[in-house]
Structure 1
Amino acid sequence: MSTPQQSIHSGFGATTTAAEVLDGIDLTGKHVLVTGGYSGIGLETTKALAAAGAEVLVPARRPKTAAEALDGIAGVSTDELDLADLASVAAFADRALAAGRPFDAVIDSAGVMACPETRVGPGWELQFATNHLGHFALVNRLAPLIGEGARVVAVSSGAHRRSAIRWDDPQFEDGYDRWEAYGQSKTANVLFAVHLDRLAQERGVRAFALHPGGILTPLQRHVPHEEQVRMGWIHEDGSPVADTRFKSTEQGAATQTWAAFSPQLEGKGGVYLQDCDVAEVGEGGVAEYAVDPGQAERLWSLSAALTGVDGFGR
C-alpha cells in the first residue's frame, strides 16, 4: 500500500520537540539503532528514545568521542562504524548479526554536508558515499534483524531540492560542487526510503525520509564562518541569527523520532516528512523527482551494484 504525500494533520509542528512526540509512548524493550546518535539532532534523538525506555545502539566513527557524549544516559551503547568505509560497515553489521538482537527502528541520522571534494573507496564522492551508500549497505546488511513492525528512517534535508540524481555523473568526476553534491545525497536518502518501503512492506517493515528543519549543529563544520554570515545563519560574533528559520536541536530531532515510533504513521510508509507531518509535493515540500518510484528503483539498482549488497531486494 502506497501512502500519498499529503498532510495527515498530526497536531504537531515545527516547534514540537522529540520528547513531546514520545509523550505517553513507552519504548521499554525496544531496540533502536541511531547513526550519528552522539552529536547534534542525533544526540537529542538518542536522549529522547532512552528517556522513553528504549535501548539505543549508537555506532560511531569515533567511538570514544561517542561514549563521552553519551556518558550517563542509561540504556545506550556504542560501537565502531565508518559509513564511508564499506569494510567497516560490513564488520559492524557482522557484529550486530552475531549478537542477533532485532531492531525495532533504524534511524540513519549521520551525515556530512558541503565538504571539500574528497574521494573514498573506489573514488566515490564522500557525501554520496557517506550519506547514501554507507547507509544503503548498512540497512541491507542488517536486513535479517529488521522485521515485522520495524521502521527505517532516512534523515534527508530540504537541500534535496538542490539536485536530482546526476545519472550521467553521480560521483562528480566532471567538476565538483559541494552544495549540489550534498543535495544529490539528500535526494538519494528520499529515494532510498521510497523503494525500501516498496520492497519491505511484505515483511512488515516501513520506511520514511524526512527534513528535520534548519538546525545549527556540528553538521555545518565544513561551511566557513564568513559563508554562514553571508547566508544569514549567524552573526559576525558567531551567535545564531534570531529568526524562525532555525530550530533547536530538541525540535530538530522531533520529526525523525516521530517517524520511528508515532502510532499516527501506522500502516503508512515510503513518504517524505517534515515538521512531524507528511509533506506535500512542490515548493516548500518535497521535489517530485525525489519521490518518483522509477527514480527510486533505478537508484536502488545502482546502489546495489556499487556496494555489492541487496538484502531487501533478493
Structure 2
Amino acid sequence: MSDKQQPIGSGFHARSTAADVLDGLDLTGKTAVVTGGYSGIGLETTRALANAGAAVVVPARRPDLAAANLDGIPGTEVDFVDLADLASVKAFAERRLAERRRIDYLVNGAGIMACPETRTDQGWELQFAVNHLGHFALVNRLMPLLEGARVVAVSSGGHGISPVRWDDPHFTEGYDRWQAYGQSKTANVLFAVELDRLGVKAFALHPGAILTPLQRHIPVEEQREMGWMDSDGNPPEYFKNTEQGAATQTWAATSPQLNGLGGVYLEDCEVAEVTAEGPGVRPHAVDPEQARRLWEYSAALTGVNAFA
C-alpha cells in the first residue's frame, strides 16, 4: 500500500481548469504526446499544453477528424495509431524513435467505456486491450525517448468497480461491460504504480465526471437513469466541463508541485487518499504486488518490456 497517497495542499480544486494549473508555466521547447488528444478532455489538454508553448503530438485512430478538431491550435501534430492493434503501436513508436525527439510529457488519455463485448484479433477484451495493453506497449516502445519524462495514465473513479480479474481478465465467460471498464481503469492505476517504481515518473488520476464522447456506448435513457443528465440533457452540478476535466491530467504532467512524487493517484488536482468508498483510490489499485503482477502479465501478452 502506498504511504504517498496523502494530499499536498495544491491550492487547486475541482473547478480549476487546465489553463489555471498551467498559469505561469512556460513549456516552450517541451514536447508532449497526448493519446485521445483530439476529443473531450484530451482536446482541452492538447489546447492548454500548446497554448503554454509545448509542441503536442496527437496519436489518433481517426487522423482526419483529429486534424479537423486541432485546426487552429498551434504546435500540434497528428499521427496515426490504433491502440487495439499492437502492430500500429509499434509503427507509431518507430516513427517517433526515428525522429529522436525527446518526450517530456506522455498523457495516456485515449479510451473506451462500457462498450458491447468486442475482442481484438488476439481474443483480448477490447476495453482492457485499448485502455491498458495498447498504452502499456506504447510506453515501453517509446522508453528511449522518455528519460526525465512524466507519464500520465488517465484512469477513473470507475476503478472501484473491479480489481484485475485474474481468474478471467478477458471475460471469456459472462461479459459485463462495466466490470470490464472498471478492471481496465484499475489496470491504469497499477501501471503507473509499477512504472514509477521502475524509475519513470508516473501518475494516475480520476479526471472527474464529464459529459464527453466517452459515453457514446451508453444509451441516453441509461445516462438519465444514472443521474448523468436530466430530461433536457443537462448534467448535474457536480459534473465538470471539459476545461475542468482536463485540469488534473495537465497538472499531473507539468506541475512542479509534484516534483519528488510519483506512483500516486490524483483527483481534483490533488493527491487522493486511499479509501474504501467514495472519493479517493481503492486499496486494490495501489497494491505494489498487484502492480508487479500486472506488469509481468502485460509484458507476456504484448511481447514488450523495456525493463526486461
Instruction: Tell me whether the two structures share a fold, i.e. TM-score over 0.5.
Output: yes
Deviation at 1:241, TM superposition (A): 3.0
Where 1:90 maps in the other structure, the secondary structure is helix
Distance in 2 between residues matched to 1:286 and 1:301, nearest whole Å? 23
Equivalent residues in 2 for 1:1-314 (5 A)? 4-148=4-148, 150-200=149-199, 205-237=200-232, 239-244=233-238, 246-282=239-275, 283=277, 284-311=279-306, 313-314=307-308
**1:254 partner letter:** A
Structure 1: any 5+ residue segments left out of the alignment?
none
Deviation at 1:225, TM superposition (A): 1.0
**1:96 partner letter:** R
Distance in 1 between residues matched to 2:235 and 2:216, nearest whole Å? 17
- Assess if the C-alpha contact under 8 Å between 2:211 and 2:235 holds in 1: no
Deviation at 1:240, TM superposition (A): 1.8
1:219-266 deviation line (CA, Å, top 9, x unaligned): 0000011101111111233x223322x100000000000000000000
Identical-residue share of aligned pairs (%): 70
**1:178 partner letter:** R
**1:230 partner letter:** E
1:264-285 deviation line (CA, Å, top 9, x unaligned): 0001100000000100000220
- Assess if the C-alpha contact under 8 Å between 1:108 and 1:135 holds in 2: yes
Where 1:247 maps in the other structure, the secondary structure is coil
How many residues are matched? 305
Distance in 2 between residues matched to 1:175 and 1:105, nearest whole Å? 38
When the two chains are superposed, the root-mean-square deviation of aligned CA atoms in Å is 0.9
TM-score of the superposed pair, with normalisation by structure 1: 0.96
- Assess if the C-alpha contact under 8 Å between 1:3 and 1:269 holds in 2: no
Where 1:215 maps in the other structure, the secondary structure is coil
TM-score of the superposed pair, with normalisation by structure 2: 0.98
**1:221 partner letter:** R
Distance in 2 between residues matched to 1:28 and 1:81, nearest whole Å? 26
1:98-123 deviation line (CA, Å, top 9, x unaligned): 11101001000000000000001210
Distance in 2 between residues matched to 1:210 and 1:48, nearest whole Å? 18
Distance in 1 between residues matched to 2:304 and 2:4, nearest whole Å? 29
Structure 2: any 5+ residue segments left out of the alignment?
none
Distance in 2 between residues matched to 1:240 and 1:113, nearest whole Å? 20
- Assess if the C-alpha contact under 8 Å between 2:105 and 2:150 holds in 1: yes
Distance in 2 between residues matched to 1:121 and 1:90, nearest whole Å? 16
Deviation at 1:3, TM superposition (A): 6.2
Where 2:129 maps in the other structure, the secondary structure is helix
Deviation at 1:174, TM superposition (A): 1.1
- Assess if the C-alpha contact under 8 Å between 1:3 and 1:270 holds in 2: no
- Assess if the C-alpha contact under 8 Å between 2:248 and 2:268 holds in 1: yes
Distance in 2 between residues matched to 1:44 and 1:35, nearest whole Å? 12
- Assess if the C-alpha contact under 8 Å between 2:230 and 2:236 holds in 1: no
Where 2:198 maps in the other structure, the secondary structure is helix
- Assess if the C-alpha contact under 8 Å between 2:38 and 2:69 holds in 1: yes
Runs of 4+ in 1 over 2 A off after TM superposition: none
